[in-house]
Amino acid sequence: MGTDFNKAFEFVIRWEGYKSEDSSDPGGRTIFGISSKSHPQEVREMWNLSKDKALDQAKEIYRVEYWEASGCNLLTEPFDMIVFDTAVNMGVSMAKSFITDSYDWKDYLLLRASWYFAKRKQYPQFIFGWFNRVFDLWETARRHG
């Protein structure tokens, strides 16, 4: 129907990276963007796996808990990739609420950027990365959508 899940997953992984133990990250220890706050046992297990095996496990978590849970498999391109990336970055409920409050994918991304702007004082170390991610998503959607 819309974007291939694999294409959307590649976008997300490019931004999420591999392993992180940033003490200022509220998600705690992460591997491929899977946080120990949300998935403590999975992150513990994945941390010691080979990079490829950990990536496979992360991909399955993303497919079920973010792509399908957000209804991305029912959305058209590029809206599906945008909602998926938002679900990963901000949570499924936030991703779904932006759908209700937006007219199209451009409006959706502006709502997302506005939320980041509102949180800039709470998470100043992440603001530039968040905005760069939105700009990259905008450009990707514009080229492919």
Task: Tell me the pLDDT tens digit for each residue of 36-57.
Answer: 888 999 999 999 999 999 999 9
The one-letter amino acid at 112: R
| Angle (CA) 2 129 78, round 5° | 10
What's the pLDDT tens digit per position in 4-33? 899 999 999 999 889 988 777 777 889 999
CB 83 within 8 A of CB 75: yes
Overall average pLDDT of the 59-63 stretch: 96
pLDDT for position 129: 83
| Res. 106: pLDDT tops 90 | yes
Q: For residue 22, what is the DSSP state?
A: -
What's the whole-number average pLDDT of the chain?
Answer: 89
Would you state the pLDDT for residue 3? 63
pLDDT of 124 reads 72
Question: pTM score > 0.75 for this model?
Answer: yes
Tokens encoding 69: 């849970």
pLDDT of residue 92: 95
